[in-house]
Protein backbone atom coordinates (compact mmCIF):
# COMPACT_ATOMS: atom_id res chain seq x y z
CA UNK A 1 0.00 0.00 0.00
CA UNK A 2 1.24 3.49 -0.90
CA UNK A 3 0.59 6.56 1.24
CA UNK A 4 0.76 10.26 0.42
CA UNK A 5 0.96 12.78 3.25
CA UNK A 6 -0.38 16.30 2.66
CA UNK A 7 1.23 18.91 4.94
CA UNK A 8 1.92 22.65 5.06
CA UNK A 9 3.84 23.20 8.30
CA UNK A 10 6.51 21.87 10.64
CA UNK A 11 5.58 18.24 10.11
CA UNK A 12 5.38 16.87 13.65
CA UNK A 13 2.66 14.41 12.68
CA UNK A 14 4.58 13.53 9.53
CA UNK A 15 7.63 12.72 11.65
CA UNK A 16 5.50 10.59 13.98
CA UNK A 17 4.09 8.68 11.01
CA UNK A 18 7.58 8.07 9.61
CA UNK A 19 8.77 6.84 13.02
CA UNK A 20 5.77 4.53 13.37
CA UNK A 21 6.41 3.04 9.93
CA UNK A 22 10.04 2.38 10.85
CA UNK A 23 8.93 0.63 14.05
CA UNK A 24 6.58 -1.57 12.06
CA UNK A 25 3.38 -0.16 13.55
CA UNK A 26 1.90 -0.39 10.06
CA UNK A 27 3.22 -1.87 6.85
CA UNK A 28 2.95 0.61 4.01
CA UNK A 29 5.19 2.69 1.78
CA UNK A 30 5.25 6.42 2.53
CA UNK A 31 5.66 7.32 -1.11
CA UNK A 32 4.91 11.04 -1.32
CA UNK A 33 4.74 14.32 0.56
CA UNK A 34 2.48 16.93 -1.05
CA UNK A 35 3.26 20.41 0.29
CA UNK A 36 2.03 23.86 -0.74
CA UNK A 37 4.56 25.92 1.25
CA UNK A 38 8.18 26.02 -0.02
CA UNK A 39 9.56 27.01 3.41
CA UNK A 40 7.63 24.41 5.40
CA UNK A 41 9.74 22.45 7.88
CA UNK A 42 8.08 19.20 6.81
CA UNK A 43 10.00 19.28 3.52
CA UNK A 44 13.37 18.78 5.23
CA UNK A 45 11.89 15.95 7.32
CA UNK A 46 10.65 14.21 4.17
CA UNK A 47 13.98 14.55 2.40
CA UNK A 48 15.84 13.09 5.40
CA UNK A 49 13.41 10.18 5.40
CA UNK A 50 13.83 9.58 1.67
CA UNK A 51 10.22 10.47 0.87
CA UNK A 52 9.56 12.09 -2.51
CA UNK A 53 8.49 15.73 -2.12
CA UNK A 54 6.03 17.37 -4.49
CA UNK A 55 5.76 21.13 -3.98
CA UNK A 56 2.51 22.45 -5.42
CA UNK A 57 2.10 26.17 -4.77
CA UNK A 58 -1.44 27.49 -5.16
CA UNK A 59 -0.18 30.77 -6.65
CA UNK A 60 1.41 28.90 -9.55
CA UNK A 61 -2.01 27.91 -10.89
CA UNK A 62 -4.85 29.93 -12.38
CA UNK A 63 -7.44 28.35 -10.12
CA UNK A 64 -8.17 25.66 -7.56
CA UNK A 65 -9.20 23.22 -10.29
CA UNK A 66 -5.79 23.37 -11.96
CA UNK A 67 -4.02 23.27 -8.58
CA UNK A 68 -5.82 20.07 -7.60
CA UNK A 69 -5.40 18.58 -11.08
CA UNK A 70 -1.63 18.72 -10.57
CA UNK A 71 -1.99 16.98 -7.20
CA UNK A 72 -4.17 14.29 -8.77
CA UNK A 73 -1.54 13.77 -11.46
CA UNK A 74 1.05 13.03 -8.78
CA UNK A 75 -1.29 10.78 -6.83
CA UNK A 76 -1.90 8.76 -9.98
CA UNK A 77 1.78 8.67 -10.93
CA UNK A 78 2.74 7.26 -7.53
CA UNK A 79 -0.30 4.95 -7.37
CA UNK A 80 -1.39 6.28 -3.98
CA UNK A 81 -3.88 4.22 -1.98
CA UNK A 82 -4.32 6.47 1.06
CA UNK A 83 -4.06 10.24 1.54
CA UNK A 84 -3.10 11.34 5.05
CA UNK A 85 -3.81 14.97 5.92
CA UNK A 86 -1.23 16.26 8.40
CA UNK A 87 -1.69 19.99 8.73
CA UNK A 88 -2.44 20.74 5.08
CA UNK A 89 -3.93 24.21 5.40
CA UNK A 90 -6.19 24.13 2.37
CA UNK A 91 -9.72 22.87 2.01
CA UNK A 92 -10.01 20.23 -0.67
CA UNK A 93 -12.76 20.71 -3.23
CA UNK A 94 -15.91 18.60 -3.16
CA UNK A 95 -14.81 17.05 -6.46
CA UNK A 96 -11.43 16.01 -5.04
CA UNK A 97 -13.01 14.50 -1.92
CA UNK A 98 -15.57 12.57 -3.96
CA UNK A 99 -12.85 11.25 -6.23
CA UNK A 100 -10.98 9.78 -3.24
CA UNK A 101 -13.92 9.12 -0.93
CA UNK A 102 -12.92 7.04 2.09
CA UNK A 103 -9.29 7.22 0.98
CA UNK A 104 -8.51 10.50 2.78
CA UNK A 105 -8.06 10.68 6.55
CA UNK A 106 -7.39 13.63 8.82
CA UNK A 107 -6.45 14.29 12.43
CA UNK A 108 -8.05 17.09 14.43
CA UNK A 109 -7.14 18.34 17.94
CA UNK A 110 -10.58 18.13 19.52
CA UNK A 111 -13.33 15.62 20.12
CA UNK A 112 -15.31 16.27 16.96
CA UNK A 113 -17.94 17.49 16.34
CA UNK A 114 -16.88 19.99 19.05
CA UNK A 115 -14.40 22.79 18.25
CA UNK A 116 -13.91 22.58 14.54
CA UNK A 117 -11.49 24.86 12.72
CA UNK A 118 -7.86 25.92 12.85
CA UNK A 119 -7.86 27.07 16.50
CA UNK A 120 -9.50 24.08 18.14
CA UNK A 121 -7.11 23.81 21.10
CA UNK A 122 -7.38 27.49 22.03
CA UNK A 123 -11.12 27.47 21.46
CA UNK A 124 -11.60 24.52 23.83
CA UNK A 125 -9.34 26.11 26.43
CA UNK A 126 -11.06 29.50 26.21
CA UNK A 127 -14.52 27.93 26.38
CA UNK A 128 -13.60 26.30 29.67
CA UNK A 129 -14.45 22.67 28.90
CA UNK A 130 -12.98 20.06 31.23
CA UNK A 131 -12.26 17.53 28.48
CA UNK A 132 -11.13 17.89 24.90
CA UNK A 133 -9.13 15.43 22.82
CA UNK A 134 -8.06 14.14 19.43
CA UNK A 135 -10.07 12.73 16.51
CA UNK A 136 -8.94 10.69 13.50
CA UNK A 137 -11.62 10.73 10.81
CA UNK A 138 -12.35 10.25 7.15
CA UNK A 139 -12.55 13.48 5.18
CA UNK A 140 -15.81 14.47 3.52
CA UNK A 141 -17.05 17.65 1.84
CA UNK A 142 -17.42 19.59 5.11
CA UNK A 143 -14.62 21.04 7.24
CA UNK A 144 -13.52 18.80 10.15
CA UNK A 145 -16.34 16.42 9.42
CA UNK A 146 -16.70 12.86 8.21
CA UNK A 147 -16.95 9.39 9.76
CA UNK A 148 -14.89 9.08 12.95
CA UNK A 149 -12.24 6.37 13.06
CA UNK A 150 -10.66 6.93 16.50
CA UNK A 151 -10.98 9.42 19.35
CA UNK A 152 -9.08 9.90 22.59
CA UNK A 153 -10.03 12.29 25.36
CA UNK A 154 -7.62 14.72 27.03
CA UNK A 155 -8.53 16.27 30.38
CA UNK A 156 -7.93 19.98 30.94
CA UNK A 157 -6.64 20.75 34.42
CA UNK A 158 -6.64 24.03 36.33
CA UNK A 159 -2.87 24.24 35.92
CA UNK A 160 -3.01 23.92 32.13
CA UNK A 161 -2.11 26.75 29.79
CA UNK A 162 -2.91 26.76 26.07
CA UNK A 163 0.72 25.79 25.44
CA UNK A 164 0.77 22.89 27.90
CA UNK A 165 -2.56 21.61 26.59
CA UNK A 166 -1.29 21.81 23.02
CA UNK A 167 1.83 19.84 23.94
CA UNK A 168 -0.21 17.06 25.53
CA UNK A 169 -2.64 16.92 22.63
CA UNK A 170 0.22 16.66 20.14
CA UNK A 171 1.62 13.68 22.06
CA UNK A 172 -1.73 11.94 21.73
CA UNK A 173 -1.91 12.82 18.02
CA UNK A 174 1.47 11.25 17.40
CA UNK A 175 0.28 7.96 18.90
CA UNK A 176 -3.31 7.93 17.62
CA UNK A 177 -2.70 8.83 13.97
CA UNK A 178 -0.39 5.87 13.23
CA UNK A 179 -3.01 3.57 14.80
CA UNK A 180 -5.67 4.98 12.47
CA UNK A 181 -3.36 4.44 9.50
CA UNK A 182 -2.69 0.89 10.68
CA UNK A 183 -6.43 0.12 10.77
CA UNK A 184 -6.84 1.42 7.23
CA UNK A 185 -3.79 -0.42 5.88
CA UNK A 186 -4.95 -3.68 7.43
CA UNK A 187 -8.45 -3.31 5.97
CA UNK A 188 -10.11 -3.24 9.38
CA UNK A 189 -12.30 -0.17 8.83
CA UNK A 190 -15.85 -0.78 7.65
CA UNK A 191 -18.07 2.19 6.80
CA UNK A 192 -21.84 2.14 6.93
CA UNK A 193 -23.37 5.53 6.34
CA UNK A 194 -21.63 7.87 8.76
CA UNK A 195 -20.46 5.14 11.13
CA UNK A 196 -17.09 3.41 11.11
CA UNK A 197 -16.70 0.01 12.73
CA UNK A 198 -13.40 -1.72 13.43
CA UNK A 199 -13.31 -5.37 12.38
Catalytic residues, which ones? 108
Cβ atoms of 5 and 17 within 8 Å: the answer is yes
Helices marked H in 80-161: 94-99, 120-127
Indicate the SS3 state at residue 178.
helix
Indicate the SS3 state at residue 22.
helix
CA distances from 89 to 29, 44, 118, 141 (A): 24, 18, 9, 15
Cβ atoms of 80 and 31 within 8 Å: the answer is yes
Amino acid sequence: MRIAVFASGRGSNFAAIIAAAKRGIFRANLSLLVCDQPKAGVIAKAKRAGVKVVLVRREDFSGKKDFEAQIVKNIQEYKIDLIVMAGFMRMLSHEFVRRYRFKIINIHPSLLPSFKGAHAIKDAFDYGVKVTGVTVHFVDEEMDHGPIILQQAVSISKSDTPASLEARIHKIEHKLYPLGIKLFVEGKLKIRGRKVSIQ
